[in-house]
Structure formats: C-alpha cells, structure tokens
Amino acid sequence: MGYKKLLDMHTHTDNSPDGKAAIMHMCECAQSLGLRAIAFTDHCEVDDYAGNKDSAKCVKQAYFEAKKAQNVYRGRLIVSVGVELGQPNFDVQTAQSILTEYDYDIVLASLHNLRDRPDFYFMDYNNESVHDILEEYFKEIIKITKWGNFDSLAHLTYPLRYITGKFKIKVDLNKYTHYTDEILKILAYSGKALELNTSGLRQPISDTMPPKSIIKRFKELGGEFVTIGSDAHEVKDIGSGLDTAMQMLKDNGFNYTTLYQSRVPMPIPIE
C-alpha cells in the first residue's frame, strides 16, 4: 500500500451475524498488512436489541473480545473498541443505555432499514418508488445526526449499494442536495466525522459510500473529520480500498484522516 499509517475504522468479526473471522485472526492480518490501527465495530441493530437476547449477548461478547485484543496488541497495533449502531433513532433510549454500559473508543451510526421495513439489501426496487425510499432514508439520517451520540456517520448513501449496484437503477444525487447538505452541515457544526466507506469499491456499485462529490461538499461546508473504513466482514477485505480513500481525501483538501480513541478524534496526517 502506498500510504503510511493506514487506519481501518470499520470492520466486523464473527461477533456480527454476517462476520466470518475471529478477532485475533483479524488482528494478525491487520498487523501483517502494516496497518497502524483497526477498529472493531460489530453490529448492534438498536431496533432489534431490546427484544432479542442473542443480540445483547453478541454486543457484550464483541466488546470484551475487542478490549482483550486491545491489550494483547498494545505497542504493535492500535485496536479501537467500537460498535456500529444501526437505527439508533428508532429507539434512542436503548441506544443511550448501550452507550452508557460500554466504554467504546468509536461509535459508528448507520441506517440499514427504514421503519418496519427489511434491510435495504432485501428490498425489491423494481416494485418501489426509489425516490420515496431515498427521501425517507435521508430524513432518517437527519434524525440520527440531530440525535448526535456517535462519532462517525457510516456509509451515507448505503441504499445505492443495492439500487445502483444490484438493480442498476441510476440515481441523480443532486436531487437530494438539500438533504445531504443538511446532514453534512450538522456533522460539521457538531464536530462529528463522516465515514468514507470503501466496501462499494469491491462490489458492483464500484464506488465509495458516500461518493466523492459528497466528500468534496463536506469539506466545502466546513467538515473536518473523516474516518475511513473497509467494512470488512472477512480477513481478505481488511484494509481494502484504504489507499484509494486516502487519495480521495487528499484530492478534496483533507490533510488528515481520523483515529478515535476513547471517543476523541485524533487527526492522523495523510502521508
């Protein structure tokens, strides 16, 4: 990899329902790839947490395993103990209680589904109004950013992974600028990070989430912090696309990327 000091701030272990590798194996790989830091951000779908005993158990296990890995790798690899909170705006009380119970380094916020709907992954976009779905998606994201108890907003434009990537339906994001600008402004004013998620680069959508135009706009609107994450769910994807993401940040006027420890942003120069 061309850039030094690579940070992967979004990965999943086998403590996520769709994760495949054990945490120690992932740490070994991250270290051998020469990463400086890795964040483990296993899933916690907030809207499914209260009624699902397994979910609470996985979140607990993920937390303690990441804490342990952090100690084992101290001095060799920075391990950020994190979580990806899905739909925190659907049940802010539960989200709050999870964040009180666990002492995370980094909290990602994401939206994988609309209210009373399946994950965007499972939707049939040939029988839906893509425009209505995206409007509702961005409105929910605005609620998440206003709620604000997170560090980085994960994979903004996530539905496009399926709408454009899988169903090949073209979307003009310019139609949603009033929403995305509001989201970016709230992030910038409140000192939150926007995530540059590289998983789409290795998937049919062939683009980052969000795309470059939104990264550029974030800078114009005063955004300071961007975290980069591969969203790896298996060992082979750790660190993938980080170089491309670093270059994209540099091209758009960002001189550093961001590491989170104890929920404090630490700018790391891109070099």
Q: Residue numbers of the site for Zn ion (CB under 5 A)?
A: 84, 110, 231
DSSP structure class, residue 209: B
Query: Minimum Å distance from CB 197 to Zn ion?
Result: 8
- Nearest approach in angstroms of CB 113 to Zn ion is 11
- Nearest residue (CB) to Zn ion, 105 versus 231: 231
User: Do 21 and 12 meet the contact criterion of CB atoms below 8 Å apart?
Assistant: no
Q: Cβ closer to Zn ion: 231 or 237?
A: 231
CB of 237 to Zn ion, least distance (A): 11
**Cα-based distances in Å from 43 to 60, 63, 87, 89, 103:** 11, 11, 11, 15, 16
One-character DSSP codes across 128-150: S-HHHHHHHHHHHHHHHHHH--S
**Closest to Zn ion by CB, 84 or 151:** 84
- Round the CA-based radius of gyration of the chain to a whole number and report it: 17
Residue 268 backbone dihedrals phi, psi, to 5 degrees: -120, 115
Of residues 94 and 198, the one with the C-beta less far from Zn ion? 198
Classify 200 as helix, strand or coil.
helix
Bridge partners for 265 per DSSP: 260
Phi and psi (nearest 5°) for 86? -90, 135
Q: CB of residue 216 vs Zn ion: minimum separation in angstroms?
A: 23
Work out how close the CB of 188 gets to Zn ion at its nearest, in angstroms, rounded to a whole number. Answer: 22
Q: Which residue, 15 or 252, has its beta carbon nearer to Zn ion? A: 15
Amino acid at 191: G
